[in-house]
Amino acid sequence: MTEGDEVRELAGLLEDEYANAILIYTSEREMSAPELSDACDASVSTIYRRIERLQEHELLAERLNLDRDGHHYRTYSARLDRITIELADGAFDVEVTYRPETAADRFTDLFEGLR
């Protein structure tokens, strides 16, 4: 993918009202897909499609949670900190800066790697 393609794809994703709202809500706290569905006034399937697109660009982190009944559910949090797009010498340069991972994020990655 060229830098120009990446710029267009990221811009289109950030322009999408649901993807945009998901990033905003999950920048404040982790949320499940049903919670995001309520907050965004969108169907759960719409939310999952946007989650998938955001994860393709590594803009959204996913965490597996266990409830008291032994069931599991996933929550999501924004990884995006900043996107910088620079035009120089006839080409775009895209730099994505991510939020630092927490110890809980690293533990979850380790746990999921063991499954």
CATH number at residue 55: 1.10.10.10
Q: With a cut of 80, say whether residue 14 has pLDDT above it.
A: yes
Residue 70: which domain range? Answer: 3-114
The rounded mean pLDDT for the chain is 87
pLDDT at residue 56, as a whole number: 93
pTM of this prediction? 0.79
Number of domains in the chain: 1
pLDDT at residue 110, as a whole number: 56
What is the distance between the alpha carbons of residues 108 and 105, in angstroms, rounded to a whole number? 5
Mean pLDDT over 92-108 rounds to 74
